[in-house]
């Protein structure tokens, strides 16, 4: 799946432990992110750009800020 700039994608999962991975990170291959999701919880992920390494896929450290940012984006279905 590819998410366009200015968009977000909602991935619904059941409560529990999950691993979400981005498989095409320059120089590092896969980028698995482990996350525990409670019933009804929203967990935000983001891409961060680092020089040399490129884009890194990770759980947003500031979930409130990520929620605010996502509210300004367009849903990608």
75 vs 39 pLDDT, higher one: 39
Q: Could you give the CA distance from residue 38 to residue 56 in angstroms, rounded to a whole number?
A: 24
Domain contains 2? no
Per-residue pLDDT tens over the stretch 46-77: 877 778 766 777 889 999 999 999 899 888 87
Domain contains 38? yes
Domain contains 55? yes
32 vs 40 pLDDT, higher one: 40
Predicted local confidence at residue 24, as pLDDT: 58
Q: Could you give the CA distance from residue 77 to residue 65 in angstroms, rounded to a whole number?
A: 22
Domain that holds residue 16: 7-75
| pTM for this predicted structure | 0.72
């Amino acid at each position: 799946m590819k998410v366009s700039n200015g968009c977000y994608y909602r991935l619904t999962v059941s409560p529990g432990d999950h691993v979400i991975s981005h498989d095409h990170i320059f120089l590092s291959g896969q980028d698995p992110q482990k996350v525990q999701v409670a019933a009804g919880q929203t967990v935000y992920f983001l891409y961060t750009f680092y020089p040399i390494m490129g884009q890194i896929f990770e759980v947003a450290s500031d979930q409130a800020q990520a929620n605010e940012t996502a509210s300004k984006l367009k849903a990608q279905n």
